[in-house]
Structure formats: structure tokens, C-alpha cells
Amino acid sequence: MSVFLLSRRDCLKALLALPWVNAPAALAASSQSVTTSEDRIIAINWLAAETLLSLGITPLAVSDVGYFRRRIAEPVLPENVQDIGPYWEPNIELIAALKPTLILSDMIAPALLDSLQRIAPVQVVSVYPAAGDLWLALVSFTAGLGKTFSASAQAAQLTDRATRTLRDGQQRLSRVAGQRILVAVRSQDGKYATVYGRNSLPDAILIRLGLRNAWTQPVGAMGTANVSVEKLASLPADWLFYTELPTTLTQISRLRQPDGLWQQLPLVAVGRARELTHFFPFGGLTTATGLAQHITTALTEPDSHA
């Protein structure tokens, strides 16, 4: 439940009821910041943080800033943005000291949510999982965020650019339309992977590029399924795009566990696998645009490297 104050915050109450989304980094770099002296925003939710930055709005603080930068390369998170700890256990004392006017949060434990509401108005960002079409939810989220911070023009530009990127990508991919694409995250031990199916961001992008998602089997509420690498070996697919969590444990596990299973995957063996060095599967339009461009380049310029 969101709690809001008066004046400007009454406006926030009405506008924050809308679903929102995010936008391309190039435009964010060129757009002038639209925040005012009374806009002191803390973004616990990364989708919200990415969206704010893409609109030219710098939050006071973000959850786990170091990991944020490793997962989301664009838009760039400025060095002066403070770290308020992990999203599941934010530093309540630090948040209170920052005196925010708005907190954009994940769905967290009720006790934590109550503590945040005692500090400032709270909006729980709930685009993922989407109740309907994910892409439309992201577009609506972008528009709502832009309206809240008097940045409707910037939000429209961001949405237009993302839409244009996907349309252009579909045209470039017309000769390979319908190819089956698998998007996955390798597990820390290299034996399993998380694949993205229906109702996920990769799926929404593939549909708009005129491609097909190779994973058509059941998924959870967030559009994902955890499967063994052996199962991926028999999956009909034309291309594989993958990433792995950039953690120390993953790096250590890689040294201890040879990539034999992974290297034996048919798509890896024939050179039809590309690594996504930065990818946040629950991001917004900036993330979506980057993934679309990556896939388009790989399928139209097969000799290119990820």
C-alpha cells in the first residue's frame, strides 16, 4: 500500500497508480535533468532506477550500487549515487537520513515496507510479473514516470526510440524471420541454466523482432524456468544468447568446474552462441533496446563477436 502526503505528493499518489517503464541511455545522456530541488528519490527497485536515469533523473540512492553497475552498464549510474544496501534488506537508518520525498521499492517484507512508509511516500513497482502484455506495461510505466516528474516529452522520446529500434531490427532480420532464439543465464556450477520463456522481457523482444522463443515449455510467474544443461542440448534452437551472474562465487566455480557440458551444447560448438556481458532480465526499455540490438547484430553479421 502506498502512502502519500500533500501538494506535489498528492499528484504523485494519482500518477503512481499507473504502471511504468524505462528508456535508452543515449537519450538520457543528451536530455537535461528534469528533477527539482524537492525531488529526492530513492530507488530500491532497479527497473525504477534504470528508468529514472534514462529520463535524465539521478536518484539519491539505489540498492546495491556495485552490483547494479555490473548488471546494468547503460544508463551509467553516477558515482555520487549512494548505496542503501540490498533490496531485501535496505538500510533504514541511511534512508531516513537522506530525507527522501519518494521511495520506489520492490515488493519486500511487510515490516520493512512499513518502516519505509514512516520515512516517505512509497510506491511498489510491480511491472514484473506483468498481468498482461509486458511491453505495453513497460511503455505505460515509462509514460507514468515521465508524467510524475514533468518529463512526458522525454518519456515519449525514449519509447519512440525503443519502438523504432525494434521495428528497424525486424526489417533487418526479415530474411531470418522465425528463427528460434534461446536466452539463458548459466548457473554458478555450470550444470544448470535459467531460461526465459513466455511473459519475460526476452520473449517480448523476440516477438517484436519477428523471431521465435526457443523455450516454449512451462515457466513460472516471472517467465523463467530452471533446467539442466543436458536438457538444453536437445532443445531445437538456432541461436543461444547467454549471461551469468557476475559474482565471485561464479568465478570460483568456473575455475573448479570445467565447461565441458556447456561446450558440448550444439549451438556453442558451432559458434551460434553469444555472451551478454551486461544483462538485467527485469529491466526496462534501455535494457530491451540493448538486447534487441545485440540479437540483430548477431543474426545479420554472424562473424561479429559479442
- The count of structural domains within the chain is 2
pLDDT for 303: 60
Domain holding 69, by residue range, is 41-126
pLDDT for 188: 75
Both 79 and 166 in a single domain?
Answer: no
Both 185 and 286 in a single domain?
Answer: yes
Q: Which residue has the higher pLDDT, 7 or 265?
A: 265
**Does the residue 22 lie in any domain?**
no
Both 160 and 288 in a single domain?
Answer: yes
**Does the residue 161 lie in any domain?**
yes
pLDDT digits (tens, 9 = 90+) for 185-202: 988 777 889 999 999 999
Both 176 and 228 in a single domain?
Answer: yes
Percent of the chain clearing pLDDT 70 (strictly above):
81
If you average pLDDT over each of 205-214, 223-232, 270-279, which comes out highest? 205-214
**Does the residue 122 lie in any domain?**
yes
- Region 76-93: mean pLDDT is 96
pLDDT for 45: 97
Pairing between β-strand 212-213 and β-strand 180-186 as defined by DSSP bridges: parallel
Over 60: is that where the pLDDT of 24 sits? no
Both 159 and 108 in a single domain?
Answer: no
pLDDT for 261: 78
- Region 150-169: mean pLDDT is 96
Both 168 and 94 in a single domain?
Answer: no
Both 118 and 61 in a single domain?
Answer: yes
pLDDT digits (tens, 9 = 90+) for 32-82: 344 444 589 999 999 999 999 999 999 999 999 999 999 999 999 999 999
Name the pLDDT band for 179 (thresholds 50, 70, 90). Answer: very high
Q: Which residue has the higher pLDDT, 254 or 280?
A: 280
Both 113 and 237 in a single domain?
Answer: no
pLDDT for 33: 40
Both 102 and 171 in a single domain?
Answer: no
**Does the residue 280 lie in any domain?**
yes
**Does the residue 145 lie in any domain?**
no
Q: Which residue has the higher pLDDT, 159 or 231?
A: 159
Both 163 and 294 in a single domain?
Answer: yes
**Which of 126, 144, 174 finishes a domain?**
126
**Does the residue 306 lie in any domain?**
no
**Does the residue 221 lie in any domain?**
yes
Both 291 and 163 in a single domain?
Answer: yes
Q: What is the CATH number of the domain that holds 237?
A: 3.40.50.1980
Contact 34, 56 (CB under 8 A): yes
If you average pLDDT over each of 24-28, 44-48, 276-280, which comes out highest? 44-48
pLDDT for 258: 53
What is the rounded CA–CA span in Å between residue 213 and residue 202?
8
pLDDT for 39: 80
Name the pLDDT band for 219 (thresholds 50, 70, 90). Answer: very high
Using CA of residue 226, residue 227, residue 232, residue 234, what is the dihedral sign? negative
State pTM to two decimals.
Answer: 0.82
**Does the residue 8 lie in any domain?**
no
Both 120 and 157 in a single domain?
Answer: no
Over 70: is that where the pLDDT of 14 sits? no
